[in-house]
């Protein structure tokens, strides 16, 4: 429910802050006092688009803030899906800047206008002439029937199954389309895969092959240099090893003459050990090096294959070729097994469709069972509102298509006159009749669903005092289940409110301002008397006002 509303710098409102309670709240005021301004400000909090004309003072921002108690509405999932902090007392703030830009916040978290609009639809239902046209929509009509048929859980299960069915159906279509294209490409993909599988694809293979190729291609030069190195190591006259060996022999005779000689001997000894190890390795390598034209040709072929694959697939290294090979393997495998997958998915879709059809039949049966009761209740309630001959013809027919409401089409026909021809609501019902029908429907829905706060905007326009009294009774009864507002010009309706607010204008030296005030019991009497007799309040009007409010006043 709406617990507080504050408006700053909006239209004729300078600054306004008001608190509301549960129950039935009426708002009255003279024509032009600013009731539409109040509704406009509230609409901005609920996601309506704004412009600079909303600003009272053009160089200051407009701020409208509403606090809502949302615990009964089960909106936790909505808050989680939109990454919002859930608070049982949620604050929505809308700001319109002098630049024309608009910002919206839910519990101080910025939100888009789309998110705010969806949230607003779950918090307040502003009943206007435009909204009354919902009556003519098949989805809204089915919502009413389902509420009486207690179909909410059945419909939720059906909708969940429908989402899964449509997802599976889309997957089947994707697989079928993929099969058509894949069959065309299968031979080519298989050839490419075979070609890649024959290539020596592993990390580091390119560098290894290039190194081996260089060695095999330059084997004579390598053999020559290795032989030269062996000679430099082992020549009897000038070889490195014999010379260092002689040096070690000479230094060994000095080790007893001091630590510095001993250290020098040990260093030469270390060098000799390292040189001897290098010589052994050199001889080992030399023994393994020999011309091998066959190996050179094989390595060359492997390198050329890799280079040609690089060019063919427009890549630069082996890791990319490996990724392409893996992707091709997946495609070839998937295509080879696609028929089996499509068959399985087709059976899955058929089973899901059968389940949905069964659920739709159950929904239809429950709807048909409740339609006679709905017609009776609508007729009885409308009779109290001055439409004694109003009646409905409600026909339910099956369709072949799945919709979010099942597989039914509802024909909701109406006549306001006994013996009259039934026709579509939007064609045969007047605006006033549609408003009364919507009021009755909302009253019925309130008994079966947790509706948001409802604000009726002059729903009683053009009806007599007696009928307006009945309408007020309906709204008052509704307020036992939800918060109800009624903006009204009729004293019969205003007298039934648990709380009474008055919209009024004040004339300042420089500008006119709109204000909203909660009336005391005495002020209510005076306000009702004004509504009954006009500007000049008579004693009889005051007495009538007191009578409307009750003998206790």
Q: Which helix (H) or strand (E) holds 507?
A: strand 499-507
Beta bridge mates, 501: 27, 518
Q: Percent helix, strand, coil in the chain (nearest 5)? A: 60, 20, 25
Contacts of 138 (CB under 8 A, 6+ apart): 405, 409, 410, 412
- What is the three-state SS of 266-320? HHHHHHHHHHHHHHHHHHHHHHHCCCCHHHHHHHHHHHHHHHHHHHHHCCCCHHH
> Using one digit for the tens of pLDDT, what is the confidence trace for 261-291?
899 999 989 999 998 898 888 888 888 788 8
The 10s digit of each residue's pLDDT in 383-393 is 988 888 999 99
* Predicted confidence pLDDT, tens digits, the chain (553 residues): 999 999 998 888 888 899 999 999 999 988 777 787 888 888 888 888 877 677 777 888 889 999 999 988 889 999 999 999 999 999 999 998 888 888 999 999 999 999 999 999 889 988 765 566 667 677 888 888 998 999 989 999 999 999 999 999 999 998 888 777 776 776 677 777 788 888 888 888 878 887 878 888 888 888 888 888 888 888 777 788 888 888 888 888 888 888 998 999 999 899 999 988 988 888 888 887 888 888 888 888 888 888 888 888 888 888 888 888 888 887 777 777 778 888 999 999 999 999 999 999 999 999 999 999 999 999 999 998 888 899 999 999 999 999 999 999 888 888 988 888 888 887 888 877 888 888 888 888 888 877 889 988 888 777 777 888 888 999 999 998 899 999 988 898 999 999 999 998 888 767 788 888 999 999 999 999 998 887 778 888 889 889 888 733 4
Q: pLDDT of 209-247, one tens digit each?
A: 878 788 888 888 888 888 888 888 887 777 888 888 888
Supply the CATH classification number for the domain 1-123+452-519: 3.40.50.300
Q: Model confidence over 404-444: pLDDT tens digits?
A: 999 998 888 889 888 888 888 878 888 778 888 888 888 88
In Å, how far are 9, 53, 77, 108, 439 from 120, measured between CA atoms?
A: 22, 22, 15, 16, 20
Spatial neighbors of 309 by CB under 8 A, at least 6 apart, are 195, 196, 199, 315, 321
* pTM of the complete model beyond 0.75: no
Residue by residue, DSSP assigns 168-191 as HHHHHHHHHHHHHHHHHHHHHHHH
E strands of 327-373, at which residues?
Answer: none
3-state secondary structure of 112: coil
Q: Calculate the CA 52 to chain-centre distance.
A: 30
Given a contact cutoff of 8 angstroms between Cβ atoms, the answer to whether 426 and 437 are in contact is: no
pLDDT digits (tens, 9 = 90+) for 21-60: 999 999 998 877 778 788 888 888 888 887 767 777 788 8
For the chain, what are the domain ranges?
1-123+452-519, 181-336
């Amino acid at each position: 429910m709406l617990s507080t509303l504050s408006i700053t710098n909006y239209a004729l409102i300078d600054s306004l802050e008001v608190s509301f309670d549960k129950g039935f709240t009426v708002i009255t005021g003279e024509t032009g006092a600013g009731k539409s301004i109040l509704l406009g400000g509230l609409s901005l909090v609920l996601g309506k688009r704004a412009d600079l004309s909303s600003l009272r003072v053009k160089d200051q921002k407009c701020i409208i803030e509403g606090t809502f108690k949302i615990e009964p509405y089960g909106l936790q999932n909505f808050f989680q899906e939109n990454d919002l902090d859930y608070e049982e007392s949620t604050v929505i703030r809308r700001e319109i800047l002098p630049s024309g830009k608009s910002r919206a916040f839910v519990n101080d978290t910025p939100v888009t206008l789309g998110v705010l609009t969806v949230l607003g639809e779950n918090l307040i239902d502003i009943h206007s002439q435009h909204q009354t046209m919902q009556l003519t929509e098949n989805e809204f009509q089915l919502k009413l029937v389902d509420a009486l048929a207690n179909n909410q859980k059945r419909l939720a299960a059906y909708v969940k199954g429908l989402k899964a069915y449509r997802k599976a159906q889309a997957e089947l279509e994707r697989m079928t389309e993929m099969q058509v294209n894949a069959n065309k490409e299968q031979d080519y993909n298989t050839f490419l895969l075979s070609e890649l599988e024959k290539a020596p694809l592993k990390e580091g293979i390119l560098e290894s092959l290039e190194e081996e190729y260089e060695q095999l291609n330059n084997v004579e030069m390598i053999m020559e240099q290795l032989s030269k190195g062996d000679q430099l190591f082992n020549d009897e006259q000038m070889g490195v090893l014999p010379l260092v060996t002689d040096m070690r022999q000479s230094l060994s005779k000095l080790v007893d003459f001091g630590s510095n000689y001993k250290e020098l001997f040990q260093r030469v000894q270390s060098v000799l050990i390292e040189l001897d190890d290098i010589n052994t390795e050199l001889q080992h390598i030399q023994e393994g090096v020999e011309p091998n034209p066959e190996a050179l040709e094989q390595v060359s072929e492997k390198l050329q294959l890799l280079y040609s694959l690089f060019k063919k697939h427009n890549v630069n290294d082996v890791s990319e070729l490996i990724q392409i090979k893996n992707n091709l393997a997946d495609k070839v495998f998937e295509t080879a097994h696609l028929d089996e997958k499509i068959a399985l998915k087709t059976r899955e879709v058929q089973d899901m469709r059968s389940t949905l059809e069964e659920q739709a039949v159950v929904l239809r049966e429950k709807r048909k069972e409740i339609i006679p009761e709905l017609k009776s209740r609508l007729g009885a309630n409308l009779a109290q509102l001055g439409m004694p001959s109003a009646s409905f013809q409600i026909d339910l027919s099956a369709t072949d298509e799945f919709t979010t409401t099942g597989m039914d089409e509802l024909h909701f026909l109406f006549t306001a006159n006994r013996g009259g021809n039934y026709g579509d609501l939007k064609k045969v019902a007047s605006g006033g009749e549609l408003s009364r029908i919507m009021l009755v429907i909302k009253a019925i829905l309130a008994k079966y669903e947790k509706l948001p706060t409802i604000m009726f905007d002059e729903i009683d326009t053009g009806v007599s005092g007696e009928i307006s009294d009945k309408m007020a009774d309906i709204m008052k009864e509704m307020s036992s289940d939800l918060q109800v507002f009624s903006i009204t010009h009729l004293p019969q309706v205003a007298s039934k409110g648990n709380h009474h607010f008055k919209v009024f204008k004040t004339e300042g030296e420089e500008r006119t301002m709109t204000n909203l005030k909660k009336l005391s019991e005495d002020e209510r009497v005076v306000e009702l008397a004004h509504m009954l007799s006009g500007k000049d309040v008579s004693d009889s009007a005051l007495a009538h006002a007191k009578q409307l409010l009750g003998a206790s006043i």
